[in-house]
Amino acid sequence: MAKSPAHAAPLSVALVLLALLACKGGDKPTGAPASASAQPAAAAPTSSPDIAAEKLGTFVCKEIKDDACVGATEQFPLDAPVVHVSYKTATIPKNGDVFKMLWIAEDVGKAAKPNTVIATLEKKVADLPDFGVKNYVVHTQLSKPTAGWPEGKYRVEIKLGDTLVSTARFQMASD
Residue 37: per-residue pLDDT: 55
pLDDT > 90: what percent of the chain? 49
Strands annotated E in 15-78: 34-40, 57-65, 68-72, 75-77
Residue 3 or residue 75, greater confidence: 75
Structural domain boundaries in the chain: 5-173
Mean pLDDT of the chain: 76
Are 139 and 53 in contact, with CB atoms under 8 Å apart?
no
Are 34 and 99 in contact, with CB atoms under 8 Å apart?
no
pLDDT > 70: what percent of the chain? 69
- 17: Cβ contacts below 8 Å, ≥ 6 apart: 111, 112
Beta strands 98-107 and 34-40 are: unpaired
Q: How far apart are CA 89 and CA 138, in angstroms?
A: 9
Query: Cα torsion at 70, 72, 27, 16 (round to 10°)?
Result: -110
pLDDT digits (tens, 9 = 90+) for 89-131: 888 999 999 999 999 999 999 999 999 999 999 999 998 887 8
The CATH code for residues 5-173 is 2.60.40
Residue 36: per-residue pLDDT: 58
CA dihedral for 175, 12, 170, 120, sign (positive or negative): negative
Instruction: Identify the CA nearest to 71 among candidates 60, 79, 80.
Output: 60
Residue 52: per-residue pLDDT: 42
Q: How far apart are CA 130 and CA 135, in angstroms?
A: 13
Highest average pLDDT, of 27-31, 37-41, 80-84, comes from 80-84
